[in-house]
Amino acid sequence: EPAGTVGMRETESLEQQQQGGEDSKATVGQKGGEQTKDLSYNEWIKTCQESRTYAHNERLGGKAIELGAEKPPAFNKDTLFHPTVEAYATAHTTKASKDVARISEVTTEKKMFAPCMVGQLEGQFLKMMVQMQRANTVLDIGTFTGYSALSFAEGLGKDGKVVTIENDAKIAETADGLFKASSVADKIELLVGDAVQHMQKLLQQGKKFDLIFLDADKANYVKYYEIAMQGLLNKDGFIMADNSLCALVYREGDARRDRLHEFNELVSKDPRVEQVCLTLREGVTIIRPTPEFWASTANKQ
């Protein structure tokens, strides 16, 4: 589903991304290494970094945004980050495999909406998440041309499986061709059609997943989440919701912006889970059911 970022497509060069300009203000320590190399750490903090003391006031118990607002706060930008920040982070992230890079190339060649791809930075994050979790099964809701599904598949063990759902038959055809040409084709199952219907069918079949990735129609995130929590997760499995901070990035008045805000509020108030909303690309929320939730579901069985 559209990520909404205008300037941070993987197809842009590092130089293009950096043309947004640097901050005009820099500390001595950020500019002149020769002036600071002999300072102790405490001297460096006092001399070069004091201006940053309250730059992140939320760490110091500063006033946070209160839950319960009907609408998300105004945010008049198309991206969460200064272009140089994301370009620097991407440059220092493991590059995508040839198979995954091919997805980016084909998406661009076919003039599909490139922001729908998670891109190199988030793609590597997804791959490493399944590796660290030692996940064996992934449900990827919202295939697009396959960047996230293939990233997941490359991180799984030899018996791992990604089930990915795409509503658009034409886009699914492109993704299917890219999957079949990859080295992990046997790990990916592509379902075409309505995600809610497919999820309900998987639930009825007793299928369970170690990770469920929400990245389809933002207006339906609440539905996807509730179905996932009804029994699609393996014990100790978790949910990841992509583009959760598009509740800020999308323009005010956009219905999907409001639906994402409603989703964020719902998850934040749900006693069954704990969560962290990461400022990765346009927001990735990691949602983990609590031990009490798993205990309660075990008692019902």
Question: Two tokens at 83?
Answer: 């272009």
Residue-level pLDDT at 32:
53
Q: Is the pTM of this model over 0.85?
A: no
Strand order in the sheet with 209-214: 188-192, 161-166, 137-141, 209-214, 233-242, 284-289, 273-278
Residue type, 126: L
- In this prediction, residue 70 carries a pLDDT of 83
* pLDDT tens by residue, the chain, 301 residues: 444 433 333 334 444 444 444 443 444 444 455 566 778 877 777 777 777 766 666 655 556 677 778 888 888 888 888 889 889 999 999 999 999 999 999 998 888 877 777 888 999 999 999 999 999 999 999 999 999 999 999 999 989 999 999 999 999 999 999 999 999 999 999 999 999 999 999 999 999 999 999 999 999 999 999 999 999 999 999 999 998 998 988 888 888 889 999 999 999 999 999 999 999 988 999 999 999 999 988 766 5
CA–CA dist 127, 156 (Å, integer): 8
pLDDT of residue 210: 97
Radius of gyration of the CA atoms of the chain, in A? 21
Report pLDDT for 57. 64
Residue 91, pLDDT score: 94
Q: How far apart are CA 23 and CA 194, in angstroms?
A: 45
What's the confidence (pLDDT) of residue 24? 37
Which residues make Cβ contacts (< 8 Å) with residue 55, sequence separation at least 6?
none
Task: Write down how long the chain is.
Answer: 301
Whole-angstrom Cα distance, residue 65 to residue 201?
A: 38
Q: How many helices (H) and strands (E) does the chain have?
A: 14, 7
